[in-house]
Amino acid sequence: MDQEKTAKKTEPIKGKPIGKITHYFNKIGVAVLVLTSDLKVGDTIVIATAQGDFSQPVDSMQVEHSQVISAKAGDSVGLKVSQPVKVGDLAYLKD
C-alpha cells in the first residue's frame, strides 16, 4: 500500500499551470484562484495539494461576486472545490 502512495506522488501532473490558490473559505468550500492563464466553465482542473492531487470540472465561477463563464490571466476567481485546499496550492488545466 505504501508503494501505491509513493507512485501517486511521483507521477507527473498532467496539464498546463493555470494558477495558485490565494484563499480558501472552509465553511462554504470555495477557493480563490489567481489565474496565470485563461479558464472557462466546462474546463477540468487538477489541484495539487499536500494530501494529493484531485481533478474536478469547473461548474461555475465568480469574479468580483458576479457569475462568469470565462476568466482571463490575472483574474481572481472564486470556485467551489470538491476537497479542502490551502493557500499556495497550484492548479492545472487538465489535458
Q: Where are the domains of the chain?
A: 2-93
pLDDT of amino acid 63: 96
> Which pLDDT value is given to residue 25?
97
Class of domain 2-93: mainly beta
pLDDT for residue 15: 87
Query: Identity (one letter) of the amino acid at 84?
Result: P
Is residue 39 a contact partner of residue 61, using CB atoms and an 8 Å limit? yes
How many of the other CB atoms lie within 10 Å of CB of 88?
A: 10
Q: What is the pTM (predicted TM-score) of this model?
A: 0.82
pLDDT averaged over 10-residue windows placed end to end, the chain, 95 residues: 45 80 97 97 96 95 96 97 97 91
**Smallest Cα–Cα separation from 52: which of 94, 1, 11?**
11
Give the contacts of 67 (CB within 8 A, at least 6 positions apart): 60, 61
